[in-house]
């Protein structure tokens, strides 16, 4: 191995050890496109595998986009045969997937590529996949993130490792890669789309970064240093943000705002970024939208909605802030007569309601109880209607049902679906919340009606 190549291999080995990227007995799979970057990574890891005691595999995905795709596939096959490296070869019609997905071609290609990588890793007990991202890619990512309006996280660029994906040559310049290729007389294939400036990333590579390099030829290393500083700041913010617990339920996450107000603005923003991360959004998060949410909370708007990215909406409902995927509400309202007042069961949306006449009150039960003999005429299960009034337990007078819902901080989108138990004169109970004070049990009560409800998420757990 020539002098420059030996230095580069040592540089990569030191980088791997410093960042704990590869350990003894690891099974490492290279994402091998056949381009100069991945061939350089392939050759370096193949050189190091015996000394560092890890096994090496390769993965190639034929996207079937370019006419050269079959050529690239054949090249990778031959390369792996020469070096006796096991190859996992996959093929997808990416243009068809692109048309069906509604995503950009770059996005769907990346998504499918990583889906296949994780699938192969799981099936073959491979614990690391190495990609050939380098300093130029890293610098492009930082600039692209800044242009898109990302926060401090955008300055981190490409992570050295993430979810068993490692990037062992992230500290190499493109010049070092090409030097290594040339010194070792390595063959590779050229992706013609790398010269297509219609792609935003390649536009940055070919039209912006060269000018920055003219100003300072060490610009890529400075970007790397900047990303390290941003990473340290991000770690600190995450530590401070961990004081607020993010709760995940189905396709939504939420936080209690009680302890949020006293935090520094930077920590508040970090919490909102973390909420999106918990929904699976890791990139393209615009700081402007996050700033708007912070401002609305500071102005004490107790109810608001803001559309974010990927069909996600941010909603404040009183003392809670939600981020959730926007979906059609399939819940229905209800109006039916209770056929048997002595015993009746019904499933309504995701709620199970059970009414039963009893003569003994169970003090250990979480059920609600009313005086059976105070019921006037027929009994109904229904949702709200215009003019409804309610007398909550402990209140001698009555209030509009809408005012009761506001006082109980029930989200607007849930109010039309709250089940009500009523007779021919009054609302007897807002099921899951309260009973009518006029129907409470007293010393003259002889018969009791118990009201039991539970949701598909568990007993007495409300939607909000």
pLDDT for 406 equals 87
Pick 327 or 263 by higher pLDDT. 263
What value does the mean pLDDT of the chain take?
A: 88
Burial of 264 per CB tally in 10 Å (0-12, 13-18, 19+): exposed
Dist. CA 3–CA 183, nearest whole Å = 9
Q: Is the dihedral of CA 30, 33, 38, 42 positive or negative?
A: positive
Global confidence as pTM: 0.66
Write out pLDDT tens, residues 230-274.
999 999 999 999 999 999 988 889 999 999 999 999 999 999 989
Grade residue 1 by pLDDT with cuts at 50, 70 and 90.
low
383-434 confidence digits (pLDDT tens): 999 889 999 888 878 899 999 998 888 888 888 889 999 999 999 999 989 9
Which of 55-64, 95-104, 160-169, 270-279 shows the lowest per-residue confidence on average (mean pLDDT)?
95-104
Q: Which residues contact 73 (CB under 8 A, 6 or more apart)?
A: 60, 62, 89, 91
- Rounded (10°) angle between helices 105-123 and 94-101: 110
Extended beta strands in 132-230, E state: 161-162, 165-166
Tallying the residues shown for the chain, one arrives at: 464
pLDDT of 30 strictly over 50: yes
Decide if pLDDT at 198 tops 80: no
Residue 197 has pLDDT above 60, yes or no: no
Q: Cα separation of 7 and 224, whole Å?
A: 20
Q: Report the pLDDT value the prediction gives residue 195, as an integer from 0 to 100.
A: 46
Q: What is the pLDDT of residue 456?
A: 65
Percent of the chain with pLDDT over 90: 57
Q: Classify residue 173 by burial, with Cβ atoms within 10 Å: 0-12, 13-18, 19+.
A: middle
pLDDT level of residue 6 (50, 70, 90 thresholds): very high
- Using alpha carbons, list the distances in angstroms from residue 90 to 63, 128, 207, 374: 9, 18, 34, 72
Any bridge partners for residue 166, and if so which?
Answer: 130, 161
Tell me what pLDDT residue 361 has.
78
Answer yes or no: are the C-beta atoms of 356 and 449 closer than 8 Å. yes
- Centroid of chain to Cα 227: 23
pLDDT digits (tens, 9 = 90+) for 308-323: 877 788 888 888 999 9
Q: Which residue from 233, 239, 261, 75 is spatially nearest to 151, judged by alpha carbons?
A: 233
As a whole number, mean pLDDT of residues 6-19 equals 96
Looking at the DSSP bridge assignments, the partners of residue 31 are 59
Q: Buried b vs exposed e over 35-65: b needs ≥16 C-beta within 10 Å?
A: bbbbbbbbbbbebbbeebebebbbbbbbbbe
For the residues 146-170, what does the mean pLDDT come to?
89
The torsion angle over the Cα atoms of residues 221, 222, 227 and 233, rounded to 10 degrees, is 140
C-beta of residue 230 within 8 angstroms of C-beta of residue 153 = yes
pLDDT of the residue at 458: 41
**Predicted local distance difference test score (pLDDT) of residue 78:** 97
pLDDT score of 396? 78
Whether the predicted pLDDT of 460 surpasses 50: no
Confidence bin at 464 (pLDDT 50/70/90): very low
Whether the Cβ atoms of residue 121 and residue 186 lie closer than 8 Å to each other: no
Comparing CA positions, the residue from 14, 17, 34 lying closest to residue 26 is 17
Please determine, for residue 463, whether its predicted confidence score (pLDDT) is greater than 50.
Answer: no
- Cα gap 450→463, rounded to integer Å: 22
Residue 440: exposure state from Cβ atoms within 10 A (0-12, 13-18, ≥19): middle
pLDDT for the residue 149: 77
**Angle at the Cα of 37 (from 35 to 43), degrees rounded to 5?**
100
With cut-offs at 50, 70 and 90, classify the pLDDT of residue 302. confident
Give the pLDDT band (50/70/90) at residue 329: low
Cα–Cα distance for residue pair 225/219, rounded to 1 Å: 10
Tokens in use for 170? 């992230």
Closest CA to 435 of 409, 413, 404: 404
pLDDT above 50: residue 355: yes
């Amino acid at each position: 191995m020539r002098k420059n190549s030996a230095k580069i291999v040592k540089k990569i080995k030191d980088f791997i050890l410093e960042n704990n990227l590869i350990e003894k007995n690891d099974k490492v799979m290279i994402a091998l496109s056949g381009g100069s970057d991945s061939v350089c990574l392939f050759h370096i890891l193949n050189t190091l595998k015996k000394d560092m005691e890890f096994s090496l595999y390769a993965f190639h995905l034929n996207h079937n986009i370019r006419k050269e795709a079959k050529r690239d596939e054949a090249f990778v096959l031959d390369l792996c045969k020469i070096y006796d490296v096991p190859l996992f070869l996959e093929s997808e019609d990416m243009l068809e997937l692109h048309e069906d997905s509604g995503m950009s071609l770059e996005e769907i290609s990346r998504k499918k590529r990583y889906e296949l990588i994780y699938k192969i890793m799981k099936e073959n007990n491979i614990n690391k996949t190495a990609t050939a991202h380098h300093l130029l890619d890293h610098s492009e990512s930082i600039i692209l993130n800044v242009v898109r309006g990302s926060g401090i996280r955008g300055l981190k660029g490409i992570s050295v490792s993430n979810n068993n994906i490692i990037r062992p040559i992230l500290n190499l310049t493109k010049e070092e890669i090409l030097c290594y290729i040339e010194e070792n007389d390595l063959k590779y294939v050229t992706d013609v789309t790398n010269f297509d400036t219609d792609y935003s990333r390649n536009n940055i590579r070919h039209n912006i970064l060269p000018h920055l390099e003219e100003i300072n030829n060490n610009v890529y290393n400075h970007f790397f240093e900047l990303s390290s500083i941003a990473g340290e700041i991000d770690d600190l913010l995450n530590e401070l943000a961990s004081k607020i617990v993010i709760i995940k339920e189905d396709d939504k996450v939420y936080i209690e705002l009680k302890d949020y107000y006293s935090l520094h603005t930077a920590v508040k923003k970090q919490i909102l970024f973390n909420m999106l991360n918990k929904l699976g959004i890791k990139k393209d998060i615009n700081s402007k939208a996050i700033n708007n949410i912070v401002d609305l909370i500071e102005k004490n708007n107790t109810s608001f909605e803001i559309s974010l990215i990927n069909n996600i909406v941010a909603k404040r409902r009183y003392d809670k802030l939600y981020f959730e995927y926007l979906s059609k509400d399939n819940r229905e309202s209800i109006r039916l007569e209770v056929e048997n007042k002595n015993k009746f069961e019904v499933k309504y949306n995701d709620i199970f309601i059970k009414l039963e006449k009893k003569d003994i009150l169970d003090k250990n039960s979480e059920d609600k109880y009313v005086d059976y003999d105070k019921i006037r005429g027929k009994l109904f299960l229904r949702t709200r209607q215009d003019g409804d009034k309610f007398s909550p337990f402990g209140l001698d007078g009555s209030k509009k049902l809408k005012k009761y819902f506001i006082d109980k901080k029930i989200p607007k989108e849930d109010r039309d679906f709250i089940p009500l138990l009523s007779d021919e004169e009054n609302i007897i109970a807002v099921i899951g919340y309260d009973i009518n004070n006029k129907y409470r049990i007293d010393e003259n009560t002889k018969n009791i009606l118990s009201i039991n409800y539970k949701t598909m998420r568990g007993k007495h757990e409300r939607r909000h």
